Structure 1
Amino acid sequence: MITEMSRHRSYFTEGRLVVRCAISTTNMPLAHNLNKVSKNVLSSNGQLHMKGRKYKQLQRATLRHQKLIQKKVITNERKEKQLGLTLFIRDKVLGEDNKCYTLDELKSFVKDYVYRYSGEIEKLQKERRPGRPKSSRQQKLETLQESEEQTFLSGYIVPDLSDEENVLRLRAWNGTTGGVTSIRHVKICKESTHIPGEDCNMDE
């Protein structure tokens, strides 16, 4: 596979293959999962021109790769946050005798989650000397809290605590991503007036 392209015309050899390049690496980064496209270009044993078909093909393949990676990162971050909220609520109900919970109690758990760093934010604010900027930690926590406040307005996916059997499943859950699928989830927001009857997938 071509791993570097010179700004000047030169030859790159690998076995019997010789490719002459006239483009720079900054214009066309290659990724590891572009093997198929790269091999097709290499097998042609020709030149890569900046306006050529093969060059544009590599550009499109690289762009697709970057979009897939970005989408995967966003999806994983969302799942991680949802899993963290489910763990937070599980810890809230562990050790309690309640067979089920009301909507207000469930919303109270979510509110505790959203403002879980409020104490630390207040402490950092008091420790900040007059005229000094906020610490990176305080800025990070405030940004996170503001983001989660907005999410609460639009809706969080949470375990359905109105169902006794589901509460038992939540308490017995071992915290793994595989086990969480057995727990029924619903979507509630700050202004919800009832717990939805339909299930809500954590991947949504």
Structure 2
Amino acid sequence: MPSNRLSKVQKHITKKKGKNVALHENSRDTRRLQSAAQRDDKLNRLSAVREKQNRPYVLRIKSFQSYTMEHTSALSIPDIQAMIEDFLGRDDEELANLKAQRRAGRPPSTRETLLKQNQAMEQGEYASGFWVPDLENADNLQKLKDWNGQWSGLATLQFARISKDGFKRESSFPPKGLS
């Protein structure tokens, strides 16, 4: 989401001064341009950080969207649990390959360590309640199929937390703790 503040300031100064007029180093207009550029940089940095934080959830929802493309009716809790377990096992092959490539007595690679940590975190989340779209609701299932892949489009979906024991709790968007 790039900001237009810098371009607005540039346009205003160009309109006031003309196209080929050089600005003084410490002039008021130069300071306005610098502060607008800094503001745009800050907004772009914050946007990138927010997008990086949301990426795992977007990828999770995209995978559940692909899992449910062939389903037309609402799913049961055991079906949803099977999808969750399939999702949790998505990195098993890569983890096995990394383990096989490692020589005996060598420490695990950084990628292997990160995958193991991610799997442990997701398994812990699954034990207490895994955050997924509510697939027991047929309307929500259709909304998931029509979802465009953007974070902002997730606000229309309903979410639930499905535990390993088969319990379902309503959840909120965006995910916060165990809500």
What band does the TM-score fall into relative to the shorter chain?
0.5 to 0.7
Secondary structure of 1:178's aligned partner: helix
Change (3 A) 1:199 1:152: closer
Question: Which of 62, 65, 71 in structure 2 is aligned with 1:90?
Answer: 65
**Aligned equivalents of 1:190 and 1:79: distance in 2?**
24
Equivalent AA in structure 2 for residue 200 of structure 1: S
Residue 81 of structure 1: how far off its partner (Å): 2.6
Identical amino acids, percent of aligned pairs = 23
| 8 Å Cα contact 2:78-2:166 kept in structure 1 | no
- CA deviations 1:113-143 (Å, max 9, x no partner) are 2221011101111121212221111111111
- Match of residue 11 from structure 2: none
**Aligned equivalents of 1:147 and 1:159: distance in 2?**
19
Residue 98 of structure 1: how far off its partner (Å): 3.2
Change (3 A) 1:107 1:173: same
Please give the root-mean-square deviation of Cα atoms over the aligned residues, in Å: 2.4
Change (3 A) 1:133 1:158: same
Residue 83 of structure 1: how far off its partner (Å): 2.4
**Aligned equivalents of 2:157 and 2:101: distance in 1?**
42
| Structure 2 segments unaligned to the other structure (5+ residues) | 1-25, 27-37, 40-45
After the TM superposition, which segments of 4 or more aligned residues of structure 1 sit over 2 Å from their partners? 75-84, 198-204
| 8 Å Cα contact 1:100-1:163 kept in structure 2 | yes
- Match of residue 115 from structure 1: 89
TM-score by length of 2: 0.64
- Match of residue 10 from structure 2: none
- Considering only CA atoms, is the larger Rg found in Structure 1 or Structure 2? 1
- Match of residue 127 from structure 1: 101
Change (3 A) 1:125 1:203: closer
Question: Which of 154, 157, 163 in structure 1 is aligned with 2:131?
Answer: 157
Equivalent AA in structure 2 for residue 202 of structure 1: P
Residue 200 of structure 1: how far off its partner (Å): 2.6
**Aligned equivalents of 1:78 and 1:109: distance in 2?**
23
| Larger relative contact order (Cα-Cα within 8 Å, sequence gap ≥ 6) | 2
| 8 Å Cα contact 1:157-1:200 kept in structure 2 | no
Number of residue equivalences: 133
| 8 Å Cα contact 1:157-1:202 kept in structure 2 | no
**Aligned equivalents of 1:98 and 1:191: distance in 2?**
25
| Structure 1 segments unaligned to the other structure (5+ residues) | 1-14, 16-31, 34-68
Residue 164 of structure 1: how far off its partner (Å): 1.0
| 8 Å Cα contact 2:132-2:162 kept in structure 1 | yes
Residue 156 of structure 1: how far off its partner (Å): 2.0
